[in-house]
């Protein structure tokens, strides 16, 4: 009885198939990467090498794809974002995979993003970087604010107590964007932060009393390694917001020595006046002063001036 191998030879089109196979084998075995591997492993005979053509073929094609890379999302490799490597294992050869540079950067970016939590913060703010802060003509107050922000990032996560910053100035001078740059700078160091737009978040806190998420949100704001309260002083002030939300959060953070950063259109005196308003009419200056003492204890004031509205450029 004729063997299967011999039977295949008599099938129509076998000659053309054999030609294509020989051409493919030649291309694979003369590939620079494959030839280098075979030189480094001279114990692999020609017969053995032919049996490994499938692995060599995959390696050749994937190396070609990597050399002509058009982006991680278009990667045609068997494992997207991974480079194949030929590895001698006992009497055979295996393909092993390592992440490419694009994959590594993508994973780092995802890891950084997971360290930055936010509520009601625009996407462009969450993509802020220190190197973009210098693309504009800036005055001395803005230069000082950037310097203080950068200094904070360098000191945070070093195992020592770090005081927060209270950035204040008029609308549109780049206070919120600066917080975004700080958040990304901290993420690069592996330090988690939470950035919230204070007026919107405080409105949500009221509704969270009914959906059962109030305690978990309060716990997050109290315990996150770095808290950033954006636009404080713009919220509708009530006794409950001041005493049961801001007061409780800031008291905990002061006791635990956790840094808090702020942005505001108000300086300290203006914010204290805002905090003193009472729903019952008149002023509650004692409770306002108590909140301000916590804010001052947790931060240093940094003014940002300038006449240009940078928000238009972000």
Domains of the chain by residue range: 4-99, 106-313
User: Left (φ > 0), alpha (ψ -120 to 50) or beta: where does 265 sit?
Assistant: alpha
Average pLDDT of the segment spanning 80-86: 89
pTM given for the model: 0.66
Residue 14's pLDDT band (boundaries 50, 70, 90)?
A: low
Could you give the residue ranges of the DSSP H alpha helices within the chain?
4-9, 14-29, 32-40, 46-51, 53-67, 101-115, 123-126, 140-155, 175-188, 198-211, 214-223, 239-240, 247-256, 268-276, 285-298
Of residues 314 and 17, more confidence is placed in 17
Structure tokens at 121: 């913060």
Structure tokens at 73: 């999302």
Lowest mean pLDDT among 51-60, 127-136, 167-176: 127-136
Of residues 310 and 39, more confidence is placed in 39
| pLDDT reading at 73 higher than 60 | yes
Residue 1 has a pLDDT of 41
Lowest mean pLDDT among 10-14, 40-44, 133-137: 10-14
The CATH number, out of the four listed (3.40.50.300, 1.10.10.10, 3.40.50.10490, 3.40.630.10), of the domain defined by the range 106-313: 3.40.50.300
In tens, the pLDDT along 226-285 reads 999 999 999 988 889 999 999 999 999 999 999 999 999 999 999 999 999 876 666 788
The rounded percent of the chain whose pLDDT value lies above 90 is: 36
| pLDDT reading at 116 higher than 80 | no
């Amino acid at each position: 009885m004729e063997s299967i191998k011999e039977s295949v030879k008599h099938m129509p089109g076998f000659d053309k198939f054999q030609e294509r196979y020989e051409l493919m084998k030649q291309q694979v075995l003369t590939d620079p990467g494959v030839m280098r591997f075979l030189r480094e492993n001279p114990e692999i005979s020609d017969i053995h090498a032919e049996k490994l053509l499938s692995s060599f073929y995959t390696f050749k094609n994937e190396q070609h794809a990597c050399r002509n890379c058009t982006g991680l999302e278009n990667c045609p490799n068997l494992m997207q974002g991974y480079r194949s490597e030929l590895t001698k294992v006992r009497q055979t050869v295996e393909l092993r995979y390592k992440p490419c540079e694009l994959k590594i950067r993508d994973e780092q970016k995802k890891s950084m993003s997971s360290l930055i939590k936010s509520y009601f913060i625009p996407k462009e703010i969450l993509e802020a970087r220190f190197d973009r802060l210098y693309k504009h003509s800036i005055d001395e107050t803005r230069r000082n604010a950037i310097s203080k922000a950068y200094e904070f990032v360098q000191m945070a996560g070093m195992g020592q107590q770090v005081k927060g910053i209270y950035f204040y100035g008029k609308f549109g001078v780049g206070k919120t964007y600066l917080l975004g740059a700080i958040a990304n700078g901290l993420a690069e160091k592996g330090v988690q932060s939470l950035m919230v737009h204070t007026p919107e978040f405080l409105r949500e806190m009221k509704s969270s009393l009914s959906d059962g998420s109030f305690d978990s949100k309060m716990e997050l704001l109290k315990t996150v390694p770095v808290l950033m309260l954006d636009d404080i002083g713009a919220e509708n002030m009530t006794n409950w917001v001041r005493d049961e939300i801001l007061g409780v959060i800031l008291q905990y953070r002061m006791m635990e020595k956790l840094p808090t950063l702020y942005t505001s259109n108000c300086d300290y005196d203006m914010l204290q006046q805002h905090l003193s308003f009472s729903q019952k009419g008149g002023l509650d200056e004692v409770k306002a002063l108590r909140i301000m003492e916590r804010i001052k204890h947790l931060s240093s004031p940094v003014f940002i001036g300038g006449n240009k509205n940078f928000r238009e450029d972000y």
